[in-house]
Amino acid sequence: MAVLIRNAGRYREIAMALMRHGFGYMVEELGLFHVLSLPVRWISREEPESIKLGERIRRVLEDLGPAFVKFGQLASTRSDLLPDHIIQELVKLQERVPPFSSESARALIEEEWGVPIEQVLQTFDDRPLAAASIGQVHAGVLKSGEAVAIKVQRPGVEAMIGRDLEILKDIVSLAEKHWDWVKQYRIDQMVDEFTRAVMTEMDYSHEARNAEKIAAQFSDSEVIGVPAIHWEFTTSRVLMMEYVEGITLSRTKELAAKGHDLKVVAKNLIEGMLHQMFIEGFFHADPHPGNLLVKDDGKLIFLDFGLVGYLSEDMKDQLSGLIIALMRRNTEGMIRAVLRMGIVPDDCDLERLRADLERLRSEYYDVPFAQVRVGKALSDLFGVTQRHRIALPPDLTLLGKAMLTLEGVIETLDPKISIFDMAEPFGRRLLKERFSSRRIGRKVFLGATNFAESLLDLPEQARQLSSLISKGKLKVEISVPELKQLMRKLDQITNRISFSIALLAFSIIIVGLIIGASINRKSTMLWSYPTIEIGFIVALLMIVWLLYSIFKSGRF
């Protein structure tokens, strides 16, 4: 409520946007209608039948401005959480913001640099090259004569986005109390991811570091490059990099007219992205045509590193295992890969999951590999995980979206080229690395270390368990499907205890007789029969009979 009162004006704008697009019932159920004193006639209880749900959601986000548009763009990468028909609309979201004044840009640059702009630059182009919700880019020339591009943060954007993030979290918290689907689609998780992503994006020094990491990946390449960063003039709100002249991939006719071979451009782009994803594990996550250009010498240049993805060694292993299982039409392998990659809910129906993956596998069964679209295949797979509420790592779904974007770009350059075919050498290399002696040795060593640490922790864990039992706080849950297995385990434990007791009794009897005979120095003959020998034979027969019974039951 405090958030609502503090930002009442913004809440009113949000409520009006929701009502304009057929979500008035949500405003009423969330209690915003009465709090904001909105006219009754504004509430729309009838959803427009001619406009689909996904399109109405997209329109609401566009009306609400930069923070909500960026949230929708991030949500469009989570095909593992949201239905496909909503994803298709969210990918259409575009940032429609006018540029801010050059005077504001100059003032912010001088504030960050601490010196007049004329001391650093020969010229500064007041007309921005591009404008976005967080900042805009201006061209300039250093005193040394080098052309540079200067990215400047929009004045006041940090406070504006901070306010909208606070409101977004508050609305999701309210919504969770009213609708189960908010929890089902884990909207709160997406808001948390979005908060981290947008706060990182607003710090331009992060983008500069991302650019340098990817530049290092192609330091020896003659066909791919990244603009150099000028760190002495880069801060959290100003980013200066080398200015690169070229033609963006969205202007294919211009590229062809300049004599560039579009097939070669497509090949270089695919190899560059696959190298980032599967070899380096750090990749440009937004390879749309505006972020890629070709220089006069044919070199492909990556731009804008605000959105990147990271794949750990384990994630690369799991992904390669998934793709291999898909290639081999191995449903069980696909299930294992999916279960390893994601967080599976306790009530997940594995039989239904197997059936869904079997249907997905059959869709690609007779399709030649050259015609398989990797991005589409991953998107279809994420649709299956979404239906079963299996949460995948965000970077993995980001990779799926990047592959879809890449395939869209490649289709305009060379529709006949197959990303799947080009990915084969990378897959072979991943497999070779995965089963290399060095890698296996490292995994064995780590496994042994973890096992040793677990053993060292065992006494403390046993003490904690004993404490819980003594306090009556130990909670045991048994489901019916597990009952049979539990009874089998109990049989095993019981038989092992019986065996141990019998063996102990046998040992005590024999030792007792031997000690007694030694102390008294008397014969162990009883009625002319050797007592120890007979007792030994009887006890031995009992042990043999007990062992035979246990082994015969198959429950030892």
Measured torsion, CA atoms of residues 153, 159, 165, 166, in degrees rounded to the nearest 10: 170
Evaluate the CA torsion angle 411, 416, 422, 427 in order and state its sign.
positive
Q: Which residues pair with 139 in a beta bridge?
A: 149
Which residues, including other chains, have CB under 8 Å from residue 55's CB and lie 6 or more apart? 89
- Can you give 506-527 as a three-state secondary structure string? HHHHHHHHHHHHHHHCCCCEEC
C-beta atoms surrounding 139 within 10 Å: 16
CA-to-CA distance for 123 and 151, rounded, in angstroms?
Answer: 15
Residue 486 CA to residue 480 CA, distance in Å, equals 10
Catalytic entry in 80, 286, 304, 380: 286
- Annotation says 286 is catalytic: yes
For 148-181, b/e burial (b = at least 16 CB within 10 A) is bbbbbbbbebbebbeebbebbbbbbebbeeeeee
Distance, CA of 442 to CA of 539 (rounded, Å)? 51
Token pair of 147 as six digits: 């052309």
Give the CA dihedral 345, 402, 95, 174, nearest 10 degrees: 0
Q: Which residues are catalytic?
A: 286
